[in-house]
């Protein structure tokens, strides 16, 4: 039986993904996308070894994603996908496998049986490679400038090429070396290995995929693919009044006969919301991240605290479902500023207005808020995070 090494291309920066992490390291159902991809490849009959190609600087993310696997040192990628694959092939060339199965790290749903089918097809007599793909189901249109349809493209014989793409190792290495010698730029580089093989005159066949082999391209793809759980967390804060001429609530400046005292801008509303969001992921409280002893936070606008909490949530693949805020004070009156506060909080948290609620109440003259000594705020954050 011929041996086959899986070469996993994880060197992309994922400009369309937009998250804090490259998509291959983002969490899918509690584990990095790359972890799922490696698990699928390891389960495929015929794959003997795995080699990952990563972007320089991603070593820490790689280590965190691959602890469950026995892997050689990752190869560093180049300035295009084509050059990243070439680097990977050159790293294997010292001890060349019979076949190489090149696979995108961002395709974690690949079925082990489909990988095996590609290997079997590539190993057929007179064939150099095999590509997993899907026949086109949608009608194809050619569209001119201005969006006018210029014609319908016959879709018969048209397929979408995915990965894995399995090739006899030596001919593919030669094809990649020849393609690199032509000096393709980032723009003109070939976008899959079958194109490199085709240019070299190799014979490559298409294998119909059996399952969902979707590529994770956007954060929305990741959310759709993850099993999410809902979490609800609470935040509370109080700031005392001090001499001044206005308060900041929810990022909105409200004229008032007093100000709120505090280390930052004393935005009690954003502080309660920040603690609620941090609580949803068990990430401590606002003081953990922005200690009052640190002079960097003196007088700063509190929107940065909430932004930071939302970023931590996003880094775990989570998102805010709803934020509910209650302000407790006799004055100032919140009602006239409610819509502005909703706008402000929605903007800071990166959610729609319909996902933010601002309420206010008094304590009927009772207690410290009733004595107009300060303002209290309660917040409830409802979030979705990948199930772990």
Stretch that binds Mg ion, among 84-92, 266-274, 275-283, 347-355 (CB under 5 A): 266-274
CB-nearer residue toward Mg ion: 61 or 271: 271
For residue 109, what are its two tokens? Answer: 């749903």
Q: How far is the CB of 292 from Mg ion (least distance, A)?
A: 9
Token pair, residue 313, equals 């949530």
Q: Which is nearer to Mg ion, 215 or 263 (CB)?
A: 263
Task: Give backbone dihedrals phi and psi of 380, rounded to 5 degrees, phi first.
Answer: -125, 125
Q: Which stretch binds Mg ion (CB under 5 A): 140-148, 219-227, 264-272, 360-368?
A: 264-272
Identity of the residue, 192 or 237, whose beta carbon is nearer to Mg ion in the bound complex: 237
Q: How far is the CB of 237 from Mg ion (least distance, A)?
A: 4
> Which residue's C-beta sits nearest to Mg ion?
271
- Length of the chain, in residues: 388
| Site stretch for Mg ion (CB under 5 A), options 10-18, 182-190, 235-243, 345-353 | 235-243
Residue 114 or 265 having the CB closest to Mg ion: 265
In the complex, what is the shortest distance from the CB of residue 331 to Mg ion, in angstroms, rounded to a whole number?
19
Bridging pattern class, strands 31-32 and 374-386: unpaired
- With contacts defined by CB under 5 A, name the span among 72-80, 174-182, 232-240, 313-321 that binds Mg ion: 232-240
* Listed ranges 9-17, 42-50, 75-83, 270-278: which one lies at the site for Mg ion (CB under 5 A): 270-278
Q: Which is nearer to Mg ion, 213 or 264 (CB)?
A: 264
CB of 372 to Mg ion, least distance (A): 18
In the complex, least distance from residue 278 CB atom to Mg ion, rounded to whole angstroms = 13
**Minimum distance, C-beta of residue 255 to Mg ion, in the bound complex (Å):** 21
Binding mask 102-141 for Mg ion (x = CB under 5 A): ----------------------------------------
Render the burial of 69-79: b for 16+ CB within 10 Å, e for the rest. eeeeebbbbbe
End-to-end CA distance of the chain: 38
Beta carbon nearer to Mg ion, 169 or 290: 290
119: helix, strand or coil: helix
3-state secondary structure 256-301: CCEEECCCCCCCHHHHHHHHHHHHHCCCCCHHHHCCCCCHHHCCCC
Burial group, residue 131, by CB count within 10 angstroms (0-12, 13-18, 19+) = buried
Is 256 a binder of Mg ion (CB under 5 A)? no
Cα separation, 187 vs 360, whole angstroms: 55
| Among 16, 15, 31, 1, CA closest to 220 | 16
Among 271, 316, 319, 355, binds Mg ion (CB under 5 A): 271
Shortest distance (Å) from residue 335 CB to Mg ion? 23
Q: Which of 104, 192, 193, 237 binds Mg ion (CB under 5 A)?
A: 237
Burial level of 44, CB count in 10 A (0-12/13-18/19+)?
A: buried
CB of 367: closest distance to Mg ion in angstroms?
18
Decide the pairing of beta strands 129-135 and 204-208. Answer: parallel
Cβ 262 to Mg ion, closest distance in Å? 6
Nearer to Mg ion, 271 or 319 (CB): 271
- Least Å distance, CB 176 to Mg ion, is 58
Q: What is the largest CA-CA distance in the chain?
A: 89
At 43, list the tokens. 């389960």
* C-alpha distance from residue 75 to each of 56, 168, 230 (Å): 9, 20, 38
- Helices and strands: H and E segment counts in the chain: 12, 18
**Cβ closest to Mg ion, residue 223 vs residue 304:** 304
Q: Which helix (H) or strand (E) holds 368?
A: helix 367-370
CB nearer to Mg ion: pick between 151 and 292: 292
- Total residues in contact with Mg ion, by rule CB under 5 A: 2
The residue among 139 and 295 lying less far from Mg ion, judged by its C-beta, is 295
| Helix (H) / strand (E) containing 42 | helix 33-42
Rounded to an integer, what distance in angstroms lies between the CA atom of residue 75 and that of residue 291? 40
Write out the residues near Mg ion by the rule CB under 5 A. 237, 271
């Amino acid at each position: 039986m011929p041996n086959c090494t899986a070469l996993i291309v994880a060197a992309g920066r994922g400009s369309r993904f937009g998250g804090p992490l490259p998509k291959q390291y983002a969490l899918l159902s509690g584990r990095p996308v790359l972890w799922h991809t490696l698990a699928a490849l390891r389960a495929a009959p015929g794959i003997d070894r795995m080699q990952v190609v990563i972007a320089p600087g991603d070593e820490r993310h790689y280590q965190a994603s691959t602890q469950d696997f026995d892997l050689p040192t990752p190869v560093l990628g180049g300035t295009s996908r084509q050059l990243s694959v070439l680097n990977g092939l050159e790293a294997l060339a010292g001890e060349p496998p019979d076949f190489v199965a090149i696979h995108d790290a961002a395709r974690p749903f690949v079925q082990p049986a489909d990988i095996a089918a590609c290997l079997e097809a590539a190993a057929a007599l007179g064939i150099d490679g095999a590509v997993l793909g899907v026949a086109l189901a949608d009608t194809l249109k050619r569209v001119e400038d201005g969006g006018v349809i210029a014609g319908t493209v016959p879709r018969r014989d048209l397929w979408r090429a995915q990965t894995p793409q399995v090739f006899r190792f030596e001919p593919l290495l030669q094809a990649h070396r020849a393609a690199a010698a032509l000096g393709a730029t980032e723009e003109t580089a070939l976008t899959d290995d079958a194109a490199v093989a085709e240019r070299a005159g190799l014979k490559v066949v298409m294998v119909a995929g059996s399952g969902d082999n979707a590529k994770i391209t956007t954060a929305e793809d990741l959310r759709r693919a993850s099993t999410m759980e809902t979490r609800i967390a609470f935040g509370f804060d109080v700031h005392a009044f001090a001499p001044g001429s206005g308060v900041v609530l929810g990022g909105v400046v409200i004229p008032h006969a007093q100000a709120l005292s505090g280390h930052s801008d004393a935005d009690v509303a954003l502080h309660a919301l920040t603690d609620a969001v941090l609580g949803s992921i068990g990430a401590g409280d606002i003081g953990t991240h922005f200690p009052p002893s640190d002079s960097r936070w003196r007088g700063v606008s509190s929107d940065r605290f909430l932004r930071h909490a939302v970023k931590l949530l996003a880094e775990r693949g989570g998102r805010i479902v709803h934020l509910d805020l209650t302000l407790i004070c006799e004055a100032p009156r919140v009602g006239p500023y409610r819509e502005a506060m909703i706008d402000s909080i929605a903007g800071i948290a990166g959610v729609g207005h319909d996902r933010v609620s601002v309420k206010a109440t008094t304590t009927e003259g009772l207690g410290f808020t009733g004595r107009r000594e300060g303002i209290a705020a309660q917040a409830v954050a409802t979030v979705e995070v990948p199930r772990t």
